[in-house]
Amino acid sequence: MKLPSGICFSLASSTLAENVSAVEKLRPHVDLLELRVDAMLPEEARRADELVRRVDLPVILSVRRQKDGGAFSGSERERLRLLERLAPMGFAFIDVEHDLRAPELDRLIREAGAGVIRSFHDPAGVPSDLPERMPALARTPAELPRATVTPRGSADLLRLLDAFQRLSRLPKVLSGAGDCGFPTRMLAQKLGSLFSAVEDPGTADELYRCRAIGEATEVFGVIGNPVMHSLSPVIHNKGFAALGLDAVYLPFLVDDLDLFFRAADMLGIRGLSVTVPHKVDVMSRLAHQDGSVGAIGACNTIHRRPGGGWEGTNTDGAGFLAPLLAAFGDRLPAGLRATVIGAGGAAHAVAHSLVRTGARVLVLNRSPGRAQALAQDVRAPSGSEVLIGPLDETGVKLMGGFNDLIVQTTKVGMAPHADSDPLPGYSFSGRETVYDLVYVPEMTVFLKRAKAAGCPIILGSQMLLSQAFEQFRIFTGKQYPREAAHGIFEPLSGD
């Protein structure tokens, strides 16, 4: 029996028709199928073998128990009878749990000429004895051991990667479920797993190009918590593909920086984008940092130094300025007066960049203490100043002298507050240039109000792309192919 490999599409719809339709839609991205009969309606499960005759791919039969993260709600006797009835029906492989003793089922599988995948599932974590347990799963040399575990944090991811290393010579299927395990599913072939069962093979194949990932593939990514919503993988992977680079960029959910950096060494990660809440804490792990990190007080980009260790920089400032300079004809007007709404990490990068160009800045924030700390952190050069004010009617009045440019840096305007306005009391005159760093949605309530008043606007997506382009250059030594970014964001038409 030929060993299965590549992208395995896990079919978990409740009806046969839905599963067949899903296969037809995603067929170009799939190498084999796993039919999760436990997820099907009882009357549909009895005719599950029809799928084998309606698709042109090898199919793994699975009837997973609830204790293994499955959905089968009947008795164990009923489950065994279902497996015995379906096993001879043309499935290429039968997934059988490691602790199931069923001589009659074993006989039926042998007579049908199907392969046996002997599996272990841990929906709660990554067992410490995984490297010892995995080789013992298969009862004969012909059986393929499979383990699906569930990393809950950086410690579990490190434990799983250690198991991959220790089991490097064993033919196997090993993967991590959930957000923390996502990198192991995309890096299956690099890590030594024969296949990876995924719910979205189109994304796995087209965006992450996981079929093409091998031992030489360079790994990059973004670390944060949360992080799975990040658009950075879309931006960077499109750039890699356009230039034909053997590289992949992945999201890493990180809850412990020290443990993650050990995992990064095991994966040979070359460079990382850094997002909340790690932009400050990561600084203590750097062997070297450039002036932008100290000036802004945060690091959003790290990469391996040739001599070892991590080097950090911050591309937020450059990413903020690039669209702004383009809007003003590549040079900000002398004496520019700007209001910055918010006093978080993004506001620090914005205020620092503005005062370095000679602008005078007003920072408005609900917490005066944070605004004051920002003003003290941003050392204004001669001729510029940083004032602070509250985010209320008093602040609105102060804006009268600082409204050539208004920059919105808070999360107000993005889900779950997409209908909110960070400064509803301010009336736009049409002369202000308005810049909102929120990029989903592109047109926030704040920007829509400004645009309706006739103000020039700058989208947060422009900053996101600009800072990512600079990160791409740092990671690869190449300029980002701008055409690859087309289509990442919805166009403004209709807003």
Phi, psi of 83 (to 5 degrees): -60, -45
Q: Which residues, at least 6 apart from 447, have a Cβ–Cβ distance to it below 8 Å? A: 413, 434, 436, 457, 459
State both tokens at 389.
């004010």
Strands 310-313 and 288-289: parallel
CB atoms within 10 A of CB 237: 22
State both tokens at 397.
């009045």
**Separation between Cα atoms, residue 198 and residue 26, nearest integer Å:** 12
279 among known catalytic residues = yes
Active-site residue (options: 2, 172, 279, 451): 279
**Separation between Cα atoms, residue 15 and residue 43, nearest integer Å:** 9
Strands 310-313 and 301-304: antiparallel
Cβ(59)–Cβ(86) below 8 Å: no
* DSSP 3-state percent helix, strand, coil across the chain (nearest 5): 40, 20, 40
**Separation between Cα atoms, residue 433 and residue 196, nearest integer Å:** 48
Cis peptide preceding 416, ω within 30 of 0: yes
**Separation between Cα atoms, residue 224 and residue 302, nearest integer Å:** 13
Kindly tell me the burial class for residue 306, based on how many C-beta atoms sit within 10 Å of its own C-beta (0-12, 13-18, 19 or more). exposed
Place of tokens 């049409």: 430
Q: Which sequence positions are flagged as catalytic?
A: 279
